[in-house]
A and B are shown apart, each in its own frame.
Chain A
Amino acid sequence: MATVMPEAAVFQGLSWNPLTDVQQLFTYPFMVNALAAGTIVAVMAGVTGWFMVLRRQTFAGHTLSVIAFPGAAAASLAGLPLAVGYFGFCGLGALALAGIAGSRRSLSAESAAIGALQALALALGFLFVTLYHGVLNGLDSLLFGTFLGITTQQVVVLLAVAAAAVGLVAIAARPLFFASVDADVARAGGVPVSALGFGFLLVLGLSVAETSQITGALLVFALLVTPAATAHQLTARPALGIALSVALALAVTWLGLALAYFSIYPVGFYITSLSFGLYVLVRLGRALGRRRRATARLALRAA
């Protein structure tokens, strides 16, 4: 029975009994690994994404995610594990971005340089895919994500990297917040602003490399930016904001994985659509709230 039921379960799809459906999700080791990996990645992306949005470094984050693509393609080409390519290229990309930020003369020159780096990364990725004679298995999943075939070993690596990165952010939380909000005052007070900026880019590189492994290189933003941006809309309190960012990233990841499991559509699509939907809802809600408050003020003045 135990050997037959799970096989059938996959093809049964949704039973519409929540308890059975959730049980189904945990039937296969691949799905357990996917949920574990998704959870780790969501926590890390929620924390680092909140700081990235605060620091207005989403363009740098996006560039790192584009750099993840040639990393994965190069790893495939060399016959190495994908994670090596992701971490290696994102780490190098973070160093390059830190170099650009360190030598910046103006903000526009900086974003232009980052854009140039992004184009180079995409071109390199395309080159590696072509060198692979165009039959790189799972090009789609490199770009748009997959939750199939995540091994227990991969989960352990994800956990170790995420724990280190989140730990570093926690230790540096207040000086990093200070440097992000008010760099001049922070520097005058003795905060190592430049070193923190460099360290944060490295942590961001690690986060992008991790997130790419679930959402694919092009949909990293669904976990790294959208939940964090939604959290910033919902609250201006820092601790609550980070908690919300993590909670939203977790919610869309779990729901996205579950939906992908029960349907034929890819997981990247679900995670992206869910987080985008949440973001739109929150922005609409805030706009409506503002209008209602404005109307109330007008009514008060008229009375």
Chain B
Amino acid sequence: MTAMATSLRPDTGSRKGAAVTFDGAAVRLRGRTIWSDVSLTVAEAAFVAVLGPNGAGKSTLIKAILGLLPLAAGTASVLGRQPGVAKGRIGYLPQRHGFDSGTRIRGVDLVQLGLDGTRWGIPLPGSPSRKRDAARVAEVIELVGATTYARRPIGELSGGEQQRLLIAQALVRRPRLLLLDEPLDSLDLPNQAAVAALVRRICEEEQVAVLLVAHDINPIIGYLDRVIYLAGGGAIEGAPEEVITSETLSRLYGAPIEVLHASDSRLVVVGQPEAPFVHGDRHA
């Protein structure tokens, strides 16, 4: 597995300036190894996609970076600290299926929670800190282009609109690292591309490293710096055109995989084994 998990080319960012570094890392859940021997580096302000089939441990990787899951082996460094220490400097958007139409919470309140949701007590109305917070909330809502609908109940908004507000919530504390777990999942294709473009812009303007978990690489490939591909209990990290190739993926899966280039420049991965293969206890 070692060969598969190593980076395909030397990383652009130095190790010291990296947002996330994993070295020989492994995670076990209920006695089952999800992935092991994973070594990767996410440079500062890089836009990195986390790809792979269902059950390959994409969300597990995000949770390990957040420090919500302990490593069974290896070491990890997140923003120069142990995972879970730098919580305040990480923006996180978990995998979800949207707010149902009855949810009576305004987008602006949801974004505000990203800023002060962990603070105890009640702030005095009209206090300077409250005004500062409100200004920052308005600024970040403007950044994601959600100003026109931020004051409507979030349940009444479309999937794309909800996703923009949730990204604003993750961004409101000016994080150095943004973890987005399948933010494109429930969106139609134009919205997937629009949100991917937004994330690219945020990545550059706010100088924040982004890890975006996705099912399909096609809507985002034009915006990405790097790709982390999880499969077969391991991971490969590198530039998209290096990772999404027949040779690399076949090596990762341990089975013949073919990457086809469709005429509209879309990529199609053919022959990937189904999830049970990935769940196999090869490392136990």
Contacts and interface: CB of A to CB of B under 8 A. Distances in A.
A272 B153 CA distance: 29
Nearest to B92: A188
Contacts of A185: 92-94, 113-114, 169-170
Contact of B117 (A171, A175, A232): A175
Interface in B115-174: 116-122, 152-153, 169-170
Contacts of A187: 68
A191 B117 contact: yes
B110 to A, nearest CB: 7
A236 B106 CA distance: 6
Given A170-B122, A189-B87, A177 B104 contact: no
B87 A181 contact: no
11 contacts: A173-B121, A177-B113, A181-B110, A186-B118, A188-B92, A189-B92, A189-B117, A189-B118, A236-B152, A236-B153, A238-B105
Given A178-B113, A182-B110, A185-B169, A236 B105 contact: yes
A175, A184, A189 pick with most chain B CB within 10 angstroms: A189
Interface in B69-93: 87-88, 90, 92-93
Nearest first, the 5 A-B pairs at minimum CB distance are: A178-B117, A184-B94, A188-B92, A236-B153, A236-B104
B113 A237 contact: no
B30 interface: no
A290 B68 CA distance: 43
A190 interface: yes
Contacts of B104: 232-233, 236
B94, B105, B116, B169 pick with most chain A CB within 10 angstroms: B105
A266 to B, nearest CB: 33
B109 A238 contact: yes
Nearest to A56: B102
B50 to A, nearest CB: 16
A293 B199 CA distance: 34
Contacts of B152: 236
A175 B118 contact: yes
Contacts of A181: 105, 110, 113
Contacts of A189: 87-88, 92, 114, 117-118
Interface of B: 66, 68, 87-88, 90, 92-94, 96, 104-106, 109-110, 113-114, 116-122, 152-153, 169-170
Contacts of A184: 92, 94, 96
A172 B94 contact: no
A291 interface: no
A237 B106 contact: yes
A177, A188, A232, A238 pick with most chain B CB within 10 angstroms: A188
B120 A175 contact: yes
B109 A237 contact: yes
Interface of A: 170-175, 177-178, 181-182, 184-191, 232-233, 236-238
B113 A182 contact: yes
A191 B109 contact: no
Nearest to A183: B94
A51 B114 CA distance: 19
A197 B51 CA distance: 34
Given A174-B116, A174-B118, A238-B105, 14 more contacts: A170-B122, A174-B117, A177-B113, A178-B117, A184-B96, A186-B117, A187-B68, A189-B92, A190-B87, A190-B118, A191-B118, A232-B104, A233-B104, A236-B105
Contacts of B117: 174-175, 177-178, 182, 186, 189, 191
Contact of B120 (A174, A186, A232, A238): A174
A237 B154 CA distance: 12
A192 B38 CA distance: 30
Contacts of A171: 120-121
A174 B104 CA distance: 16
A188 B66 contact: yes
A173 B120 CA distance: 7
Nearest to B66: A188
Nearest to A190: B87
Contacts of A173: 121-122
Contacts of B90: 188
A132 to B, nearest CB: 44
Contacts of B110: 181-182
B90 to A, nearest CB: 8
Nearest to B109: A238
Contacts of A178: 113, 117-118
